[in-house]
């Protein structure tokens, strides 16, 4: 489309993929009647190429993001979690900020698979991951460490701040009712959590994970829904 007037000329072409409009490529000139039909055809061709480039970039970004995610729960996978922890630790150390890690384990998760089947077990994993993501502070990093274990990275959080997050997650589990496909009630899962903080407990990212994991196992020894700090 072209608009002309005494103050100049504007010409635009939609950037389309099929029926979807990704944007508009627009050109303006201060001179009136500056563009002709050939210019409109050229702009339309450029807009189409730009649309293809944008669409390809979006698909590439989607594929890259999927490679970082756990296919079942949608949170970061173990490999990307390690990368995120190393980068976050280096940044917090450089900025002289605290950093805490919470290791989370679903209590007696095997019972869900044994009693209700793996479909319900998978649903429990998804719902727990969703609850964690909904209840952690903005800027937190959530990933699946493996099996029924999750890791939460909390930039800027002290051990006390992480403990408050863990308490919030513990409450969140109790507010997560579950039912089978036949509308049969399922016991609400509980979680055990272990916390470690930099610089109070750990001097490296590896030590953070090690100490948080040890705290988690101490929490599990106390029974369901325990929280322990390194």
* Cα–Cα distance measured from residue 64 to residue 83, given in angstroms and rounded to the nearest whole number: 14
- Rounded to the nearest 10 degrees, how much is the dihedral formed by the CA atoms of 82, 108, 225, 70? 30
Residues catalogued as catalytic: 148
- Which residues does residue 101 pair with via DSSP β-bridges, in sequence order? 153, 196
Q: Quote the distance between the C-alpha of residue 101 and its chain's center.
A: 16
* Cα–Cα distance measured from residue 157 to residue 101, given in angstroms and rounded to the nearest whole number: 9
Question: What stretches of the chain adopt beta strand conformation (E)?
Answer: 2-5, 8-17, 20-29, 99-106, 141-146, 149-155, 178-179, 185-186, 191-198, 227-229
């Amino acid at each position: 489309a072209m608009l002309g007037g005494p103050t100049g000329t504007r010409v635009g072409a939609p950037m389309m993929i099929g029926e979807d409009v990704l944007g508009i490529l627009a050109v303006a000139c201060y001179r009136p009647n500056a563009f002709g039909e050939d210019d409109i055809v050229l702009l339309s061709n450029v807009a189409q190429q730009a649309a293809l480039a944008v669409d390809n970039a979006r698909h590439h970004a989607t594929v890259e993001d999927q490679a970082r995610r756990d296919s079942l729960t949608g949170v970061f996978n173990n490999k990307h979690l390690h990368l995120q922890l190393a980068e976050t630790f280096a940044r917090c150390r450089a900025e002289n900020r605290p950093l805490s890690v919470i290791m989370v384990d679903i209590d007696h998760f095997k019972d869900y698979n044994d009693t209700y089947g793996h479909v319900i077990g998978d649903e429990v994993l998804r719902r727990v991951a969703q609850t964690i993501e909904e209840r952690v502070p903005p800027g937190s990093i959530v990933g699946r460490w493996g099996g029924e274990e999750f890791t939460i990275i909390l930039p800027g959080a002290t051990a006390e701040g992480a403990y408050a997050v863990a308490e919030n997650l513990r409450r969140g589990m109790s507010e997560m009712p579950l039912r089978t496909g036949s509308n049969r009630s399922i016991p609400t899962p509980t979680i055990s959590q272990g916390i470690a903080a930099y610089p109070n407990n750990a001097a490296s990212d590896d030590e953070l994970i090690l100490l948080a994991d040890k705290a988690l196992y101490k929490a599990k020894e106390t029974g369901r829904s325990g929280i322990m700090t390194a």
